[in-house]
Amino acid sequence: MNLALVKPTMDGAASDVFAIARDRLPGKGPVAEVRQAAFEDFAQKGLPHRRVEEWKYTDLRVLLREVAPLAAPPDQAVLDRAKKTLASLDVNGAHRLVLVDGAFAPQLSDTTSEAGVAVQTLRAMLENADVAARADLLRTNVASDAMISLNSAMATDGAVIDVTENAAPGKPIHIVHVATQSKAAAFTRSLVKVANGARVTLIESFVGADGAAGYQAHDSVVLWAGDGADVQHIRLVEDARDAANIATAIVTLGERTQYRAFNLTSGGAVCRYQAFLRFGGQNAHADVNGVSLLNGRQHADNTLVLDHAVPNCTSNEVFRAVVDDQAHSVFQGRINVHPDAQKTDARMMTRALLLSDEAEADNKPELEIFADDVQCGHGATTGALDDSLLFYLRARGLPEKEAQALLIQAFVGEAMESIADETLRDVAIATAERWLAARG
Amino acid sequence: MSALLEVRNLQVRVEEREILHGLSLTVNKGEVHAIMGPNGSGKSTLSHVIAGKPGYEVTGGEILFKGEDLLEMSPDERAAKGVFLAFQYPVEIPGVATMTFLRTALNAQRKARGESEYSTPDFLKKVRAVAASLNIPQEMLRRGVNVGFSGGEKKRNEVLQMALFEPSLCILDEMDSGLDIDALRIAADGVNALRSSERAMVVITHYQRLLNYIVPDFVHVMSKGRVVKSGGKELALELEESGYAQFEDQAA
C-alpha cells in the first residue's frame, strides 16, 4: 500500500492495522480495490478530531487514540464464552443472528428459515457474489467520513438481510454483536433490504463477553425500506464499560414508509452513533428517538442527519440523556430540507439531565431549510432534577434516591414510549431500571 | 402526655434574612389549629420548615414531633413518622402516573415504618374508595401527577393523599388559594372527614373564609415571624372585622 498517503498526524499504527489485516479481509479484485480506496481516504483524514465539525465534541484522537488491531477469528473457546453472554440478553424470541468478534457465528445463530426473510453473510457475499455486486456491498452513498471509510476498508462480516415484498415476519430480526477479545477491534457491516409493503422489526445489540476489556466495535448498517414498508429499528448498546462503539446507520426510505428508530446507550466508554437518513419518497414518516444513560467517565454521541429530499414527509426526533458523574453526552441533530421538499414537517427535541456538577451535555441542532412551505421545530434543554419536584416526592415519603429514580424514569419515559412493541419497550425500561438500581 | 407537635422559640433564616424570630406553637392530638396572618408574616415558612424543605436555615429553637427532634430527620423520614404537608401549589410531575406515585409513596412510608407493603388489589380498593368520596374520577389517577389538573383538582389530590397516608399531623398551606366556593367545599369536606381524636391539623390561611368550612379549635395570628395572638375560633371573625394592621404595629 501507499504509505505516503498517511498523514504525519497518524502514528502509523492505523496504517499497520490495515496492512496487517488485509490478507484476512474477505473479497478479492474489485472488493479489494474498494477497500484500498476506502482505507486511503481514512488514512488521509486520520481519526476524526475536534476540528472536524461533525466530530467536534467527540475527538477520537483523544478518546480512542488509535484503531485497535483486527480481532482474531473466533475459535471454539471464544464461541463458548460468547454463548454464555447470549444467555444474559433481555431480548428473547427473536430471529437471532450472532456476530462474534466481527465474524458470523452460525452455531449461535437462529438458522431456521422464516418466510419472507433471506439471510446471508457479508463474508460469503464478498467472496461469492457477482463481481459487479460485490464491491457495492462496501460502498455508501453518504458524504465521506473517516470512520465510514475505515469500516468499508476493514469490514469482515455482517448480516445481509432481504425481507421480501409484503412480508411480515412473525419474529423480530436480532443482530447481536458479541466482543470477546480485549484490545481488539471488530469491523462489521450489515445490509438490510426491506421490500415494498414489508413490515419488520430489526434489533441490534452490542455486548461484551465476561472479561472482554478495552475492545472496539466498529459497525455500520445500510438499510433500505421500500414503498409502504414499516420498519422498527431498535439499538441496544450495552458494551463493556471500557469499550468503544463507533457505529453508522445509513437509511433510505421510500414512499409512505414508516421508520421508527430507537437507540439506547447504556454501555461503552466511548460511543458514537451516527445515522444518516434520507427520505427518498413522499408521505413517509420517521421517528428517530433515543436515550443515553451515562455515568463514570462514559462518553456517548448521537449524531443524526435527516435529509428531507422530497415533499410531504414528516420526522420527529426525541432524545433524552441522563448524565451522572463525569460522563458526557453529545447530541447533534441536523435536518436538511431540500428546495423541493415542501410540506416537510420536521421536529426535534433533545433534553439532557445532569445529575452531577461534573456531568456534561452538548446539544447541537442544525437546521438547513431551502423550501419555504415547511414546518421545522427544534428545542434543546439541559438541566438538573427539579428541586421542587424532588421535595414534593420526599415530603410524600420517598427517600432521595427513590425520588430521583422516579423522576429519571419519567424523564426517559417520553422517549421510550415511542417504542411501539411492548416487549421491546419493556426491555428498554428494564435497562433503565437496572441502571437506576446500580446508582444505589 | 407530651404534645404531638412542639415548636419552641424557632428562629429561621433564608439566605441572610431572618423570617421567623422565635416562634412557639404547641399542637396536641385531636386539635385543629388555624394560623392566620398577612402575606410575608412567615406562615408558609413555618410549614416548609416542619416538612423539611431545603433552603431554610434554623438558627435557634427546636421542633419536637411525638417527642423526637424533627429537625434531625429528612423530609421522607418526617413523612413516614406522620407529618403531611398539603402544598399551596402542588407540583406537576409529567411522566409519573398518579397511581404509580401514590403506591410508591405509600409503600415507601410503610417500609420506613417496618410495615408490610400493600398488595395491589388492597391498594386499588383503598384508592378507589377515597377517590370516589372526593369526586376524583379514575381517569385523573391514570394521568401524570397533577398534570393538566385544575386548581381544585390539585387540592383534591392533596386531600386524597392525606386520606391514603393517614398522617398524624396535617399541615394545610393556603388550601383555599385559587379555589372557588364549590371546589373549596369539596376539599374542606374531605379534610373534615379526616378529623379524628388521633390526628391534628394546622390550617394556614390568609382569609377567614376557609375557617367557615374547617372550623378550628384554636386560632393563632402571625405577624413578622412571631405568633402575636392566640385564641379560639372567634379570633378569626374578629380579624375579619378589624384586619391585620393592629398586629403589625404590635409586632414591630
Residues A61-86 pLDDT 10s: 999 999 999 999 999 999 999 999 99
Residues A268-286 pLDDT 10s: 999 999 999 999 999 999 9
What is the pLDDT confidence band of residue A399, given thresholds at 50, 70 and 90? Answer: very high
Tell me if chain B has a CB within 8 Å of the CB of A414.
yes
Q: Which domains does chain B have, with CATH numbers?
A: 5-251 (3.40.50.300)
Q: Which residues of B touch A409 (CB under 8 A)?
A: 95-96
Q: Is A91 helix (H, G, I), strand (E, B) or coil?
A: coil
How confident is the model at residue A14, as a pLDDT?
A: 64
Q: Which residues pair with A303 in a beta bridge?
A: A274, A332
Measure CA B113 to chain center. 21
CA dihedral B149, B153, B159, B160 (to 10 degrees): -70
Residue B29's Cβ-side half-sphere holds a number of Cα atoms within 13 Å equal to 11
What is the pLDDT confidence band of residue A44, given thresholds at 50, 70 and 90? Answer: very high
By CB neighbour count within 10 A (0-12 exposed, 13-18 middle, 19+ buried), where does B246 fall? Answer: middle
Q: Which residues of B touch A429 (CB under 8 A)?
A: none
- In this structure, the number of other CB atoms found within 10 A of the CB of residue A28 comes to 11
CA distance B23 to chain A (A): 22
Asked whether residue A90 carries a pLDDT value surpassing 60, the answer given is: yes
Measure CA B84 to chain center. 6
Of B137 and A356, more confident: A356
By CB neighbour count within 10 A (0-12 exposed, 13-18 middle, 19+ buried), where does B112 fall? Answer: middle
The residue of chain A nearest to residue B166, with distances taken between CA atoms, is A396
Tell me which amino acid residue A187 is.
F
Asked whether residue B252 carries a pLDDT value surpassing 60, the answer given is: no
Tell me if chain B has a CB within 8 Å of the CB of A389.
yes
- In this structure, the number of other CB atoms found within 10 A of the CB of residue B62 comes to 14
How confident is the model at residue B136, as a pLDDT?
A: 86
The residue of chain A nearest to residue B55, with distances taken between CA atoms, is A387
Query: What cell was used for A196?
Result: 415494498
- In this structure, the number of other CB atoms found within 10 A of the CB of residue B137 comes to 10
Cβ contact A395–B85 (<8 Å): yes
CA distance A293 to chain B (A): 17
Q: How far apart are CA A382 and CA A360, in angstroms?
A: 9
How confident is the model at residue B134, as a pLDDT?
A: 82
Inter-axis angle of helices B120-133 and B151-165, nearest 10: 130
Q: Which of A332, A328, A329, A362 is nearest to A348 (CA)?
A: A332
The residue of chain A nearest to residue B80, with distances taken between CA atoms, is A397
CA distances (Å), A422 to each of A94, A199, A316, in order?
14, 16, 20
Q: How many interface pairs between A and B have CB atoms less than 8 angstroms apart?
A: 77
Q: Is B166 helix (H, G, I), strand (E, B) or coil?
A: coil
How confident is the model at residue A143, as a pLDDT?
A: 79
Q: Which of A311, A247, A237 is nearest to A279 (CA)?
A: A311
Q: Which of A18, A20, A25, A11 is nearest to A66 (CA)?
A: A11
Cβ contact A395–B101 (<8 Å): no
* Residue A353 near residue A386, CB atoms below 8 Å: no
DSSP B4: S
- Test mutation, A394, A402, A409, A429, chain B, max B CBs within 10 A: A394
Residues in CB range of A383: below 8 A, 6 or more apart: A352, A353, A354
Q: Which of A402, A410, A413 sits opposite B108 (nearest CB)?
A: A402
CA distance B246 to chain A (A): 35
Mean pLDDT of all residues in B74-79: 98
Cβ contact A395–B74 (<8 Å): no
Residues A307-362 pLDDT 10s: 999 999 999 999 999 999 999 999 999 999 999 999 999 999 999 999 999 999 99
Asked whether residue B248 carries a pLDDT value surpassing 80, the answer given is: no
Q: Is B81 helix (H, G, I), strand (E, B) or coil?
A: helix
Torsion sign (Cα): A181, A18, A246, A204: negative
How confident is the model at residue A3, as a pLDDT?
A: 45
The residue of chain B nearest to residue A413, with distances taken between CA atoms, is B95
CA distances (Å), B214 to each of A89, B136, B177, B217, in order?
58, 20, 14, 10
Percent of chain A with pLDDT over 70: 96
Asked whether residue A133 carries a pLDDT value surpassing 80, the answer given is: no
Domain boundaries, chain A: 73-385
Average pLDDT, chain A: 93
